[in-house]
Chains A and B, each alone.
Chain A
């Protein structure tokens, strides 16, 4: 395992398209559910325990060597909103481009060939981790952290929230993030032996509904 490679992959500046996505924060801000640091923290906690956990488990499973095609179908089944499925595939495709440039690998090439328009981002993330010589836990950490860092960064732009407060939110969530990663890794590592049904299927209905509403807005800053 290379700790430095993990820093490269987890870097917020890793050029994989995430900067254009708010993880549902733009819709939640407009709906009045995020108004400052406290409600951002609640929003991020909700994401962490639902889509964050699921994404981390998918990434861990892919990094542990589970079949990415099956994982992609499992991700579809765990993402009711067509808008979110589309966003996850676009982000997966964008991550794939950066990953293949950074860590050329036959497994990435094969996954790109299988899904020319993109596999779900956490699945690509897990295979990327493998290509980078990283493990299931590293992949899960990247996925879980992205599930909260994206909205926090977006809310700094959307509400002009003090960036120190937004970073404080992420720091306070770190112990919970550790717990979610433990659960995700346990599930993800079990997938190669037991199949994708052991993956968690937590979801936040309001995130799914909000994503559908957001996709219909004529004017928006973020792609999702």
Chain B
């Protein structure tokens, strides 16, 4: 497979603030690629560079084989974008805005436009300034998905959508994938990425810290185990690859890496195991591994602290 997007060593500064600090990213053709990170990590800046809205300070960026800054018009015929915070001309209706974008790209898929308006329950005859945030988002989604573009760049597309619409949106994205489209989906909603993405890149402070499929990320991470045993609680401590061991009466909690998982299971079986819970690492665990000051297994109160520190992390501030 060839790469629809390939970025290496991308640097972008705004004044003294270094938004992107040697970012590498590769999105393969035909995949849904999750781009994961909190606000201010540099997601939107990366996407804007891919669209030629911002100019890279250094590094190489290729989109569909072209230079996004130089080849704006030919490239944009093949790309559709949903911005993170859609704003619609106050005096235009949603339908007019969709058709404007369509006309600029030389026409759109009329049937898809009609179907999308129906499934997303969007009234195209309302004026821009009367739409809610979710409805503005829908306008941009309809414009992007009815464009038959090869590459969809979506910047937190479900922000403002209600849960039902979020589910509808997921179906539409999966449908795009079956049509062979490439999707770059930036988000901080882990469940959404978990449900849609073939591969995931985690961005932190302007750098991609990990790119992999969710399966592989999981296989290289620790699994959380809770078990109730009759005896021999001490036997576990002897096992290598076990961490975060906590013993509460005859219940035991620990995390274990993939290689030791089999050994751990046989130890548990030998000591009269009567209950067992094995939780694969959630995306949240993987994410926190990169973002938490230290990795803590889920299920204890430290998660709250990590979550709090993650969401409170200061990034590039958005103007009100």
Decide whether A and B assemble into one complex: no
